[in-house]
Structure 1
Amino acid sequence: MVKLVQRRHEPVVVQTVRSATAATLAYVAALWLLGDSPPPLLAPLTALLVVQVTLYATLTSGVRRVNAVVAGVLIAVGFSALVGLSWWSLGLLIISALVLGHVVRVNEFVPEVAISAMLVLGVSHATDLALSRVLETVIGATVGLLFNTVFLPPVWVESAGEAIEELAGRMRALLLDLADEIGGHTTVERAAARLHQARRLDHDVVQVDASLIRAEESVRFNPRVKEGLLSRIVLRTGLDTLEICAVVLRVTARSLTDLAKERTDEPLFPPAVASALRELFLHMAGAVDSYAVLITTQISTSAEEAETFLVTELSAARTSREHVAELLLATVREHPRQWQLHGALLAEVDRVLDELDVEKRSMRLAEELDRYSTERRDRYPRWDRLQRRARRLRDLAAGALRRAGR
């Protein structure tokens, strides 16, 4: 029971309760409007398919579902009037329905076009069944849309932020493990274990990306969200940065594993270099952690503190990096074995620090906002002209009010 209460806010639990409720309401509405002979089971089925975890997904799936059923009914009525039911007409009907589904762009509901067409074609009173099927579908879709409009789905931005912080926490743990193990003699098995740990970050990124897609959809068309676009872009660009860092960390673990294979009977680095590298990895771990806090924090005060801490950690990491570079250069001059791995390690550190840079983050946010604005203007030119006209009228009215006040 305690676990059930703790999981009541998870997407699966929320979706299960909402879908079951909407389907029941759709069945009651269909009984009231159409009667119970035969039972209008298509209405709750449609509501079950239409009600999604976000309002945007519900709207799009509802429209596609109704389009799929109407398209299937229309093509079945035409076939019924012209050729009737036979083995060759059934095959031709299925092919035509599937092609029509792609033409009307119902996406995941393409099979529904063929299913609706076959059900209508297979009865003697095709017109009556066609009308009943369309009405039940419309009732189910309408109830599903109204349900998600009246009882707005949750906004999943917070859960996406938590997923990003968990990903950053795993990256931080990897850097801390590398810092702890780099000082002594590192066996090939331990280095390979860290490489596998770094590779698992790819799977973590995929899971976070799915959570972020759900969060991006949850803020679209949602009246409870005022700055949905900014939240979406901040989280998306932040995840892109962490994904690049995860890839670079995997390459870093690969370089250290290759170095461990070449130095099986000795430490990877001399004590002075190992100590400096440990300090560098610790600062990088702190920078990754503070970056995640920065992109997921909604309160401005906490965000400023996270940005300050990030700048501090990055500055300390760059100082440590220069110290490590000097020590590695001196080491390579004395013992030039595997010098290319030393250079690769420094290049990977530079890439992580560059990706986490605060100024680069600001530039990336500005670029994404400009790109979104351009795409929106190109996609909806009339809406853009109306918005510009409304802004001009608002500015003119504000100027007139200011002049009248003088």
Structure 2
Amino acid sequence: MPRIPARVASLARYRHDPVVMWTLRATAAAVIAYAVALQLSSSSAPLTAPLTALLVVQVTLYSTLTTGVERVIAVVAGVLIAVGFSIVVGLSWWSLGLIILASLTVGEMIRVGDFVNEVAISAMLVLGVTQLASQAWDRVLETLIGAGVGLLFNVLLAPPVWVDPAAESIVGLARRTRNLLLSIGEELDNPVPVHQAADRLHEARRLDQAVTDVDAALRQAEDSLRLNPRISEGLLARIVLRTGLDTLEICVVVVRVLARSMTDLAKRREQGEPLFPADTAQALQELLADVGAALVSYAVLVTTPVSENAEVAEDRLAAELSAAWDRREPVAQLLLRAVQQHPYAWQLYGSLLAEIDRMLDEMDLEHRSQRLMEELDRAAAARHARKERLAGLKRFARMERLRRPAG
């Protein structure tokens, strides 16, 4: 008996898996589209309807609406091209090549995105069937049925919001960056071979791929917030997450530069000589630990939706940034003393301090608030511009109606 709740909990976790949810939703939509097409189409096997539904149903409602419209336009364009060619030529090797060329060209001209190939596929399928005119319009009907079922499926059963996976990936990126900073700090008072310092640099470079993965998860989360009836403040949530990732991405780049500075410093040290004196290494290690902790707190802050919890996260970030700035001054003095002993390394020491300053500045709370206000103002201006264009079109249509009786 105790195993049953564990199995139920294991199955419940799959509800938050985008791949599992897309598979179930796409399968259900395809079956429903096929059943509807059997009733409305004259075809004995209207497979175009479930095919269209399968391609139209995406993880988010926004992507479903956009891809649904693009796919319908692509299929209808392909059918019309096939009908036009059938009046002049039949199916042969040269007519097939000509129709593919024309379909791909038209697909690029009408800007159907990823469905350019669908224009050519639809044209080829329709051109090769018997009873061309009837089959062509049956294919259009089946496409509309499949697209309609796919759209209604996600409108009536709104897909889940993928903010939590994106938030987890953002926090995970911050933790990986902190762990790298801690690893670098642990080596500061030891003789570091060049290959070991280079390994840290390669690890920092691998964070770039992690940023790309987080960006993909965030784009999916942003799409899930658009046009979703369950979300009342989707714009604010999208801006908070996006600006948060932008800041972390800058910090990742700075950490890579810092790792490069450490590698260059290791090359200049003699064999058996530590990177820094013991007191300087200890202070710098503590400073890097504070910066790493602030990175994680910053990620937690930008991914915390509840205002009360956000205040706690903001207070914690402020305390960690303050502690880091307090440690920064003694480190600067110790680095200045080290420069006097090793004048050849003054550029690397100065670069190291500038890189730490840059990360702390990027995570500053005032800087974050200013960035949020700028993004909100930009979004409000874009929304106002869209309303102005829509109002202009309405005025133009109203003037046209008033002119017609006079003519």
TM-score in terms of structure 2 length: 0.90
Amino acid at match of 2:353: L
Determine if contact 2:293/2:320 at 8 Å carries over to the other structure. yes
1:184 to 177, 186, 190: 190
CA distance in 1, matches of 2:208, 2:46: 46
User: What is aligned with 1:153?
Assistant: 159
Amino acid at match of 2:157: F
Q: CA deviation at 1:310?
A: 1.1
2:341 to 319, 334, 348: 334
Q: 1:384 to 1:330 in 2, by over 3 A?
A: farther
Q: CA deviation at 1:384?
A: 6.8
Mean Cα displacement is larger for which, 368-377 or 125-134?
368-377
2:288 to 266, 277, 281: 281
Pair 1:112 & 2:118 matched? yes
Q: Deviations over 1:33-88 (max 9, x none)?
A: 226x5311111111100000000011111111111111111111111113333433
Q: Deviations over 1:79-109 (max 9, x none)?
A: 1113333433332222221111122221111
Give the share of equivalent positions with the same residue, in percent.
61
CA distance in 1, matches of 2:15, 2:232: 26
Q: CA deviation at 1:313?
A: 1.2
CA distance in 2, matches of 1:342, 1:309: 29
State the SS of the aligned residue for 1:298. coil
User: What is aligned with 1:202?
Assistant: 208
CA distance in 1, matches of 2:119, 2:27: 24
Determine if contact 1:377/1:384 at 8 Å carries over to the other structure. no
Pair 1:127 & 2:133 matched? yes
Give 5+ residue unaligned stretches, structure 2.
1-6, 394-407
CA distance in 2, matches of 1:254, 1:317: 22
Determine if contact 2:38/2:44 at 8 Å carries over to the other structure. no
Determine if contact 1:183/1:278 at 8 Å carries over to the other structure. no
User: What is aligned with 1:296?
Assistant: 303
Amino acid at match of 1:182: L
User: What is aligned with 2:267?
Assistant: 261
Q: CA deviation at 1:123?
A: 3.0
Q: CA deviation at 1:254?
A: 1.0
CA distance in 1, matches of 2:100, 2:388: 38
Pair 1:88 & 2:94 matched? yes
Determine if contact 2:37/2:49 at 8 Å carries over to the other structure. yes
Give the alignment's Cα RMSD to 1 decimal.
1.9
Q: CA deviation at 1:5?
A: 5.1
User: What is aligned with 1:31?
Assistant: 38
Q: CA deviation at 1:155?
A: 0.3
Aligned residues: 386
State the SS of the aligned residue for 2:176. helix
CA distance in 2, matches of 1:14, 1:370: 35
Alignment of 1:304-323 (within 5 A): 304-323=311-330
Amino acid at match of 1:277: L
Amino acid at match of 2:221: A
Q: 1:289 to 1:142 in 2, by over 3 A?
A: same
Alignment of 1:24-103 (within 5 A): 24-34=31-41, 37-103=43-109
Amino acid at match of 2:96: L
Q: CA deviation at 1:383?
A: 4.1
Determine if contact 2:321/2:360 at 8 Å carries over to the other structure. yes
User: What is aligned with 1:359?
Assistant: 366
Q: CA deviation at 1:3?
A: 6.0
User: What is aligned with 2:22?
Assistant: 15
Give 5+ residue unaligned stretches, structure 1.
387-406
